[in-house]
Chain A
Amino acid sequence: MLEEVVLLAVDEKTGRLRAAREFGTAYALVGAVFFDLALARRIDTDTEEIRVVDPSPTGNPVLDRVLAEMTARPGRKTVRDWIEAMFHRKEDLEGQALQALIGQGILRHEQSKRLWIIDVERFPLVNNRPQQHVKLRLARAILSDEIPETRDIMLVSIAEACGLLGYVLSEAEIENRRQRIQLLAGLETISRKVREAISGLDQVLRQASAKVV
Chain B
Amino acid sequence: MVNARVPANRASVKRAAVSRASVNRPTRGYRVFQGVNGIVLTLVVAVTLYPFLNIIARSFSGERQIRAGEVTLWPKDFNLTTYRIVFGDGTFWRSYGNTVLYTVVSTVVAMTLTTVYAYVLSKKDLRGRGALIGIAVFTMFFSGGLIPNYVLITSLGLKNSIWAIALPNAISVFNLLVMKAFFENMPGELEEAAQIDGLSTYGILWRIVLPLSKAVIATMLLFYTVSFWNSWFSAFLYMDRTELMPATVYLRNLIAGATTGGNAGAGTDQLSQAAANIQSVTIVLTALPILAVYPFVQRYFVSGVMLGAVKG
State yes or no: do A and B come from one complex. Answer: no
